[in-house]
Amino acid sequence: MKRFDGKLAAVTGAGSGIGRAIAQRLASEGAEVAVMDVSAAAAQETLRLIEADGGRARVLVFDVGDTDALRAAFARLHRLDVLVNNAGIAHVGHLLQTQPEDLDRLYHINVRGVYHCLHAGVSLMKESGGGSIVNMASIAAKLGLADRFAYSMTKGAVLAMTLSVAKDFVDHGIRCNCVCPARVHTPFVDGFLAKNYPGKEAEMFAKLAAGQPIGRMGRPEEVAALVAFIASDEAAFITGSAYDIDGGLTLLR
């Protein structure tokens, strides 16, 4: 008996990185996974990987910040047991380097998108008799990180939404928690280094990895393992919590 046998899980931003690892992990433990992403090609690749491993999944392509598109996608689910709000984008820059359009771009995905998914997901879970929600926050929600003004703002909002939903819907059998990763090695990191440090990627990668006391970046699979536990019935007594997964970075603060 696997932890998610007979359950339907939805994962946003499941086309790559942490989201793909979470979708694969939940599917490997028996869940049917709704692979949600703005990129059809990326979502289809996640679907292929899940099915190649014997799992079950379906693809739903939409922008989490688009109200009508998201509602239409969630309407196709009919029920929901697990929701992982993972979709998110980043911005590097302090306050004076952050333009209004930067703020709006991050708000559209990281805040408005999470709100939309929570609104639709909680409605389905109430009808299904309960469920588990895991939101992807960040240590940036708790710590002052240099040059992460807009990103920190959005992740602070994710933490606040997590606590609010946990309190308001505990009587409906709905648990809501979040995870707060530090730096995780994903395609985003590689793309950032290639764009900003051409020819020095290896040097900068080592510097970023050394920023965690544990001496390396996290792996998407490690975040996925934590998410799977929090979402499972093994964590049935846990709600309104924020889990750091940061290689000891908060020890430096």
Q: At 164, which helix (H) or strand (E)?
A: helix 149-169
Phi, psi values for residue 46, rounded to 5°: -65, -45
Q: How many CB atoms lie within 10 A of CB 249?
A: 20
Q: In what order do the strands lie in the sheet with 82-85?
A: 56-61, 32-37, 8-12, 82-85, 131-136, 174-181, 242-245
* 151 catalytically annotated: yes
Classify residue 48 as left (phi > 0), alpha (psi -120 to 50) or beta.
alpha
Answer for the pair 12, 36: CB distance below 8 angstroms, yes or no.
yes
Residue tagged active-site, from 107, 115, 151, 197: 151
Q: Which amino acid does the sequence have at 218?
A: G
Q: Which two tokens stand for residue 54?
A: 């014997």
Q: Which residues are catalytic?
A: 151
